[in-house]
Amino acid sequence: MIIDLPSTTTSQLNKKMVELRERGGAVALGRVLTLVIVAEDDDQLEDAIDAANEASREHPSRVIVVAKGARTAAPRIDGQIRVGGDAGASEVVVLRLYGPLANQGQSAVVPLLLPDAPIVTWWPGQGPKAPAKDPLGQLAQRRITDSAAEKNPIRALLTRSKSYADGDTDLAWTRLTNWRAQLVAALDLPPYEPVTGASVVGEADSPSSELLAGWLAEYLDVPVKRQKTTSAQGIMSVTLDRPSGPIKIHRPDGRTGTLTQPGQPTRRVGLHRRDNRDCLIEELRRLDPDEIYEAALRGLSKLSNARRRTTATTPKTPAKGKA
């Protein structure tokens, strides 16, 4: 069910949601958190709501979407409430703010927050340079950005690495979960030798490639080369050098990788690119500071000058949000 409330107030929106809960038997106590989505355009808005609806099946929540209308219009709030099949296991409130209210998202959101429930703010598109200092970021225990959705992904990532605060995270980091798991598992197999160096090959504008290289540089404390390629999207390969021979995961197609290492048979591993829904579900499972992400950001400064080198070949159209 979708209910439009043009030229409304937050008080009227709250009153309508109470009425809907009483009529339908839903209770706000069943919500485990409030998810605030800051959307820049309508296409982005609907994609983000779809991802939040899917995530709500594991994390029932109230979803508040803040969308900016025309800044030159008279000040008003157009509201929309979605419940039932149009909201997954959550209740969705869309606020479109016009005129001077376009910059007052925090004031519009506060009256709609669930009492005593944690708050997560998500920017599915362009986000602030310092999420913890943004008015909507200041409300939240967890702040989720997506460097891959920025006009200049690498610059956005490096900027946020300088302003990191506990609670910050990035979907470009979440997309690496399967890569990190495969590398850790490979190091747990014989021969048990130290890693002497590493390299990560990926698209030039892939923030996930940067973060993976930073993570390796910080935790292995060895030289890590970040090499660029135009022959694949996202991350193409990772190599860990050891005295007896390298561990290498090569994924040219964005779906299945090949793991090779000395003394072990070649194995195929699933490394399908993760969508925003899966990444959002994972991020909502924790509200504490992500210390490993923070360490990966520190590692960015340790990458060798090979970051600027480009390897081979036939150009392909970049795909944003891919790891």
Instruction: Please report the pLDDT score of residue 233 as a whole number.
Output: 87
Tokens of 282: 């994972």
Model's pTM, two decimal places? 0.91
Question: What pLDDT shows up at residue 90?
Answer: 78
**pLDDT band at residue 43 under the 50/70/90 scheme:** confident
CATH class of 2-171: alpha beta
Structural domain boundaries in the chain: 2-171, 177-311
Half-sphere exposure of residue 212: CA atoms within 13 angstroms, side-chain side: 34
Q: CB within 8 A of 173, min separation 6: which ones? A: 208, 211, 290, 293, 296
- Please give the pLDDT value at position 126: 93
Across 124-139, average pLDDT = 96
Higher-confidence residue of 320 and 171: namely 171
Structure tokens of 299? 């590692």
Residue 305 pLDDT greater than 70, yes or no: no
pLDDT at 272: 94
Q: Tell me the pLDDT of the chain averaged across its residues.
A: 90
What's the one-letter identity of residue 98? Y
Q: Residue 232: its pLDDT value, please? A: 83
pLDDT band, residue 317 (cuts 50/70/90) = very low
Residue 136 identity: L
Question: Distance of CA 146 to CAs 100, 135, 240, 273, Å?
Answer: 27, 18, 27, 15
**pLDDT tens per residue across span 183-218:** 999 999 888 899 999 999 999 999 999 999 999 999
pLDDT at 64 over 80: yes
End-to-end CA distance of the chain: 35
CB atoms within 10 A of CB 282: 17
Q: What is the pLDDT of residue 273?
A: 93
CB 187 within 8 A of CB 160: no
Tell me the mean pLDDT in the region 11-23.
89
Q: What is the pLDDT of residues 226-238, one digit of tens each?
A: 999 988 889 999 9
Q: Report pLDDT digits (tens) over 153-187.
A: 999 999 999 999 999 999 999 999 999 999 999 99
pLDDT tens per residue, range 94-120: 999 999 999 899 999 999 999 899 999
In this prediction, residue 87 carries a pLDDT of: 67
Q: What is the mean pLDDT of residues 138-159?
A: 96
